[in-house]
Structure 1
């Protein structure tokens, strides 16, 4: 009887162990399946969003004014592969160039975006000091190597042009919150001291001291009368494009690129990507 009882306990133990092993395997398989689906959906969503960017470049050079898209920041809708896309195009010449803009324009943009005048002026001067070659601060303030050392930072002013927009986060006085507000309106690709007001978004127009309503009226007029598009312009060929694709399952993939239209490094490519970021958007 004792041997039978021991055998029963052993069988029950083996059954429990096998149940646990099978349960663990099933859970692992389920997790891997979900990971695979997430990866597949992510790749599919990004490719759909990328199609939106490429379609936008086609519409930008449409020979028909009535169907041509304009790079002034308005949202365009497009349906592709069971996804609904909203695409915005902003010409880079409508933004503030970090390597060209003066203290006054940079300060004005920050104030439009909610900064106090004193903070805006100080950070704007520090931005110019970061990129200029000398070690002298701006007449209105600024920041050179001793100021960075006094702030406990292990680096000083670069004294060379910005290489990325994100580099401005290293400038003395810049905060993550201020950078987040400014980033959509900054560029390195305009090559202009002053943005093109015909293609500038509202905050940039206000920083320029212009009436956004006047320029919005021009853009609306261009929708009604395509002949008015000549007053907006066809664009410089370098654009920020946001492609927001809402997938069939309700999730949204967002792809943002700064691109230069024209032949790229890959044969038959229609553009060169200058900057990119992407991901799922919970909204």
Structure 2
């Protein structure tokens, strides 16, 4: 069922963009003493453009049902400027809370992790997120962190952000930086959607072969039909790790450029949400320089 009414917000934002543009022009024609006011109007224009970019992305992804690859790179032009949309699905990342240990091991290897063994990395992530103080083989619980004078202790609850990986016992900063592009806390099922995966993450799936990876990647490229018997067999073979369910959570990087030439960016995580008045939920919002995790 289409949910168009919530996206009246997009029209409102366009009108706001027009008003912000008018304000900017009026200020530009004013005395130099009003320069601070002009700067404030420019801030309004940039904020409006960024919010318009997020709303436009949500409309294209959740209402028009356009896939992320087709939305990625689009430029939306508005009276006060333009926004460039960069979009990827969170099901293209391994989830620190929901993905099974085998995927955690695989992504550590795929990222080139060195400070721990893949099994120890997976075990320590599991020990961090589980509710007990029983140490998994190769893992680490509170007593181990206390003994090593660690900066953080396992909360025995789900990871709230990817940045908490920095506190995993024995994980180097270099490995954290290697991993952060491949993991998330917003992949609800913990399973991977082949069309959203990079080749590196696809090869992190246990026992994934190059032949199988190419066959699955062909679905994304439009080179094979998803109801093909061979592909059905592949999905069954890897059913513990991959899914055919369409993504519902996306990572956005919105770059705004005003008519005056000013540029700004924001990162966001958005999700389909029928119970929200505007039709989508924003899980993360961060200005340029602070990447959403």
Per the alignment, residue 246 of structure 1 pairs with: 257
Contact 1:259 1:275 (C-alpha < 8 Å) held by counterparts: yes
Deviation, structure 1 residue 152? 0.9
Superposed counterparts of 1:70-89, under 5 Å: 70-72=67-69, 75-81=72-78, 83-89=81-87
In the alignment, the residues of structure 2 paired with residue 189 and residue 138 of structure 1 have an alpha-carbon distance, to the nearest angstrom, of: 24
Contact 1:125 1:138 (C-alpha < 8 Å) held by counterparts: yes
Deviation, structure 1 residue 247? 3.6
In the alignment, the residues of structure 2 paired with residue 85 and residue 98 of structure 1 have an alpha-carbon distance, to the nearest angstrom, of: 31
Per the alignment, residue 97 of structure 1 pairs with: 95
In structure 2, do the counterparts of structure 1 residues 206 and 248 end up closer, same or farther at CA, with 3 Å as the change threshold?
Answer: farther
Q: TM-score, normalised by structure 2?
A: 0.66
2:139 to 115, 138, 142: 142
Per the alignment, residue 151 of structure 1 pairs with: 148
Contact 1:253 1:280 (C-alpha < 8 Å) held by counterparts: no
Per the alignment, residue 203 of structure 2 pairs with: 206
In structure 2, do the counterparts of structure 1 residues 118 and 173 end up closer, same or farther at CA, with 3 Å as the change threshold?
Answer: closer
Of stretches 91-100 and 212-221 in structure 1, the one that deviates more from structure 2 is 212-221
- How many residues get paired? 242
Deviation, structure 1 residue 80? 1.7
Deviation, structure 1 residue 69? 2.5
In the alignment, the residues of structure 2 paired with residue 248 and residue 60 of structure 1 have an alpha-carbon distance, to the nearest angstrom, of: 27
Secondary structure of 1:59's counterpart equals: helix
Secondary structure of 2:203's counterpart equals: helix
1:108 to 106, 109, 114: 106
Deviation, structure 1 residue 128? 1.0
2:189 to 189, 192, 195: 192
Deviation, structure 1 residue 184? 3.6
Larger Cα Rg: Structure 1 or Structure 2? 1
Q: Could you list the runs of 5+ residues in structure 1 that have no partner in the other structure?
A: 1-28
2:169 to 152, 169, 172: 172
Deviation, structure 1 residue 39? 4.7
Q: Does 1:160 align with 2:162?
A: no
Q: Could you list the runs of 5+ residues in structure 2 that have no partner in the other structure?
A: 1-30, 232-242
Q: TM-score, normalised by structure 1?
A: 0.68
In the alignment, the residues of structure 1 paired with residue 105 and residue 115 of structure 2 have an alpha-carbon distance, to the nearest angstrom, of: 7
Q: What value does the CA root-mean-square deviation take over the aligned residues?
A: 3.7
Contact 1:198 1:233 (C-alpha < 8 Å) held by counterparts: no
